[in-house]
Amino acid sequence: MKTNKILLSLLLIPFMVNAQKDYVPTAENLKNREWFQDAKYGMFIHWGVYSTLAGGGDYGIAEWIMNQKQLPIAQYENLASFFNPISFNPAEWVSIAKAAGMKYITITSKHHDGFAMFDSKVSDWDIVDRSPYGKDVLKMLKEECDRQGIILFFYHSQLDWHHPDYYPRGNTGQGYTGRPESGDWNKYINYMNAQLTELLTNYGDIGGIWFDGMWDQWDADWQLDKTYAMIHKLQPGTLIGSNHHKSPFPGEDFMMFERDLPGQNTMGFNQTSIEMSLPLEMCETMNDSWGYNIKDRRFKSTRQLIQTMVRAAGYGANFLLNNGPMPTGKLTKETIDTLMVIGKWLEKYGESYYGTRAGPVSPHEWGVTTQKGKTVYLHILDLKDESVFLPGFTGKISSVTLFDEPMALKYIQNGAGIIVTVPFDKRNDIDTVVKINLK
Ligand code: JFZ
């Protein structure tokens, strides 16, 4: 056992040395983690110069078009000259997020193409310097979020297909970009930290930084210790998460899962163990793309999205639902329609979702449980039988009632758990919510 532990820690060393050592989250940070878990539901926004190409007639992730079509930097940069989001209306975006029941927004400050969606002083590859629009959309969005009480997070790509000093190169952004086969990695890290400093200095309180891109090269010297310590020094309450698909490194405040429920790996890139001591977040697309894709009509139904959101909550995980705005700044009709349906559902069932944590019974095919105080919410999503067995449910029950109407349901409790009868004629197609009231 002891040797196993030693072996395990030896194996972990290469990952540990680069993480923020001895990180002790501040009280403010811990408070924000609780807020985050209560908030449960956020809007992910992928928006950048790639949006102008709208996926280029391909299915799949449109924000990757530079790499997929091997567009050299010199040509790709032209996109900025006609990225002109004259219809961008942050008040509308934030109102829609609110009507959808979302409590926070996570927007791309920089994606893999390196283009900064804010007024950066350490680069002119940004929206203010290169686009005819010439305005700092992140600043506009932040001001509106503050006005409407929505917390703003930034997605920031560590991987960079544009910066010359992102060298050595990783698995992507090779050759075709036209960059010299040389560069100073430390200069790149300093550049990234300088942009992060701008984001954490000029935009007021930021909910969190959502990192992505370490998977491009595992053996690079990411210097997470320096970056994470810097972020936590600038804004101790800011939550750090990273989409590296591994167990969280020290310094990270939440763990994320990309297009998979926690612990599942249908996508092939998600690691399977869940870090129970941290808040969890699952992100999901509406079709198969994050950035605006004009071709991709493979939209998930609102039923499927609500059920995924509820299943995630059964693991205690947040749901970050993506939205890829058009290059004009308008949201697509499909996005708005979908969000309004989910918002309506949450208006009615929000009590069983917001502010909850994973319930006492682990997720099953038939559904999940969530809990808030003395109420356990049973979410029946896909149950063929008239009754459901909740193994190991030992809580002392005062009543079991239907959420939709004040009707008591039959149940039997014994040493093995409880069996609740949920009549077929009381089922609804998306989620039949049952309240188990504890003594
Ligand atoms: C990443 C980004 O590449 C993508 O564009 C989007 O922003 C998403 C939220 O995050 O997606 C990934 C990251 C890593 C892998 C796959 C998709 N991977 O390692 O296979």
What are 377's strand-pairing partners? 370, 435
Can you tell me the distance from the alpha carbon of 101 to that of 150, in angstroms, rounded to the nearest whole number? 11
Containing 304, the helix (H) or strand (E) segment is: helix 302-314
CA dihedral 288, 238, 103, 215 (to 10 degrees): 10
**The pLDDT value given to residue 150:** 98
**The pLDDT value given to residue 41:** 98
Tell me the two tokens of residue 3: 């040797």
Kind of pairing between the strands at 280-284 and 317-323: parallel
Can you tell me the distance from the alpha carbon of 68 to that of 430, in angstroms, rounded to the nearest whole number? 37
* d(CA 47, ligand 1 centre) in Å: 15
* d(CA 168, ligand 1 centre) in Å: 20
* d(CA 283, ligand 1 centre) in Å: 11
* d(CA 370, ligand 1 centre) in Å: 29
pTM of model > 0.75: yes
Atom of ligand 1 nearest to the CA of 61: 5
Are 439 and 396 a contacting pair, CB within 8 Å? yes
Can you tell me the distance from the alpha carbon of 91 to that of 94, in angstroms, rounded to the nearest whole number? 5
**The pLDDT value given to residue 17:** 41
The protein residue with its alpha carbon nearest to ligand 1, atom 15, reads 269
Atom of ligand 1 nearest to the CA of 245: 19
**The pLDDT value given to residue 20:** 77
Name the packing angle between helices 185-201 and 224-234 (round to 10°): 20
Can you tell me the distance from the alpha carbon of 107 to that of 42, in angstroms, rounded to the nearest whole number? 10
Per-residue pLDDT in tens (0 to 9) along the chain, 439 residues: 333 433 444 444 444 445 677 899 999 999 999 999 999 999 999 999 999 999 999 998 999 999 999 999 999 999 999 999 999 999 999 999 999 999 999 999 999 999 999 999 999 999 999 999 999 999 999 999 999 999 999 999 999 999 999 999 999 999 999 999 999 999 999 999 999 999 999 999 999 999 999 999 999 999 999 999 999 999 999 999 999 989 999 999 999 998 988 888 888 888 768 888 999 999 999 999 999 999 999 999 999 999 999 999 999 999 999 999 999 999 999 999 999 999 999 999 999 999 999 999 999 999 999 999 999 999 999 999 999 999 999 999 999 999 999 999 999 999 999 999 999 999 999 999 999 999 9
**The pLDDT value given to residue 2:** 35
**The pLDDT value given to residue 227:** 98
Atom of ligand 1 nearest to the CA of 63: 5
Residues sharing a CB contact under 8 Å with residue 362, sequence separation 6 or more, in sequence order: 314
Which residue is associated with the tokens 């763990």?
A: 255
Task: Report the candidate in 376, 373, 435, 380 with the shortest Cα–Cα distance to residue 402.
Answer: 435
Containing 5, the helix (H) or strand (E) segment is: helix 2-16
Tell me the two tokens of residue 439: 């003594």
Which amino acid is residue 357, in one-letter code? Answer: R
Which amino acid is residue 377, in one-letter code? Answer: Y
